[in-house]
C-alpha cells in the first residue's frame, strides 16, 4: 500500500505550492485537490507534472474543484448543465491520466426531488463510464450531508452497481456521519478502492494521525480482511495543525509506526 499526503491539507495555499511542499518534504505519494477551473488548463497541468517529476512524487488520485456544484451540475434535471459538468469530468480524467493518477474522487449530489437513489446510481454510472473512457476510475466518497454520506445509501449503491461500484472511504466523514469506519469497510469490502486518513478523539473528529485515539493498526487489519488492495492519503483540514512541520512530523511518525 502506498501512503501519501493530500494537497488539500494545505488549503487555501495554491495547488502548485502545496504539491511542491509535499515533494520537498520527501513524501512520495499524494492526491491533488484542484481548487479553480483555470487549473484544468494544459499549461497549469504541465506545471504540476513538472513538480511531481522533479521530486519523484506519485499522484494517486485527483479531486475536482466542483464538489459543491455537483448537485447543480451533474445531478439536476437540466440536461445542458449536465453535459457541461460531464465535459469537466472528462477533462479531469484526462488530467488524471497525464499525471499518472488512477482515481477521481467525487462528493456527488445531495438528496433532492429530482432523482431517487436508483436514479442517482444510474447517473453516477454514466459519469463513471465517461471517466473510464477518458483514462480514469470514478470513486464515490462518503461525504456527510451528501447523498453518499449515508451508509445505507452506499450499501444500496454497492448492490445496485455490482462490479461497477467503487468508493473512497474517508475516516473523518464516517465519524461525522455517525458510523464506524470499520463498519464501512466491512460492509463495502472490495468495492473500496482508496482511503482518506485522519485521526480523531471524542472531542475532535479531524486530527493528525497519532494525535487522537483511532486504532490505525486495527483499521488496516480490517481493510486487509475485507480484501482492500488500494492506497491511502492523509487528508486533514488546515485547522488540524499549526506549522507545516507539525503536519510532516505527524506523517513521518505515522509511516514509521505502521512500517509502510
> Mean pLDDT across the stretch 69-90?
95
The fold for domain 3-242 equals TIM Barrel (3.20.20)
> Mean pLDDT across the stretch 149-174?
97
Residue 67 pLDDT grade (very low, low, confident, very high; cuts 50, 70, 90): confident
Lowest model confidence (mean pLDDT) among 97-101, 110-114, 204-208? 110-114
Residue 260 pLDDT grade (very low, low, confident, very high; cuts 50, 70, 90): low
Largest pairwise CA distance in the chain: 50
Q: What pLDDT score was predicted for residue 258? A: 81
Amino acid at each position: 500500500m502506498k501512503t501519501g499526503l493530500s494537497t488539500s491539507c494545505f488549503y487555501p495555499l495554491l495547488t502548485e505550492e502545496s504539491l511542491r511542499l509535499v515533494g520537498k518534504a520527501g513524501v512520495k505519494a499524494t492526491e491533488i485537490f484542484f481548487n479553480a477551473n483555470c487549473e484544468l488548463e494544459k499549461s497549469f497541468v504541465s506545471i504540476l507534472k513538472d513538480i511531481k517529476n522533479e521530486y519523484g512524487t506519485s499522484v494517486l488520485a485527483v479531486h475536482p474543484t466542483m464538489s459543491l456544484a455537483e448537485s447543480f451540475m451533474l445531478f439536476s434535471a437540466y440536461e445542458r448543465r449536465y453535459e457541461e459538468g460531464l465535459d469537466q469530468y472528462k477533462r479531469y480524467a484526462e488530467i488524471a491520466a497525464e499525471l499518472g493518477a488512477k482515481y477521481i474522487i467525487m462528493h456527488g449530489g445531495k438528496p433532492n426531488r429530482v432523482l431517487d437513489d436508483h436514479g442517482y446510481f444510474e447517473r453516477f454510472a454514466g459519469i463513471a463510464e465517461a471517466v473510464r473512457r477518458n483514462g480514469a476510475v470514478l470513486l464515490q466518497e462518503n461525504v456527510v450531508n451528501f447523498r453518499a454520506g449515508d451508509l445505507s445509501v452506499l450499501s444500496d449503491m454497492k448492490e445496485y452497481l455490482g462490479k461497477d461500484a467503487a468508493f473512497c472511504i474517508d475516516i473523518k466523514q464516517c465519524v461525522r456521519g455517525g458510523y464506524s469506519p470499520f463498519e464501512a469497510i466491512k460492509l463495502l469490502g472490495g468495492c473500496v478502492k482508496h482511503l482518506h486518513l485522519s485521526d480523531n478523539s471524542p472531542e475532535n473528529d479531524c486530527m493528525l494521525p497519532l494525535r487522537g485515539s483511532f486504532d490505525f493498526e486495527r483499521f488496516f487489519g480490517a481493510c486487509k480482511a475485507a480484501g482492500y488492495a488500494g492506497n491511502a492519503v492523509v487528508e486533514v483540514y488546515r485547522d488540524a495543525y499549526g506549522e507545516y512541520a507539525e503536519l510532516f512530523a505527524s506523517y513521518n511518525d505515522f509511516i514509521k509506526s505502521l512500517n509502510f
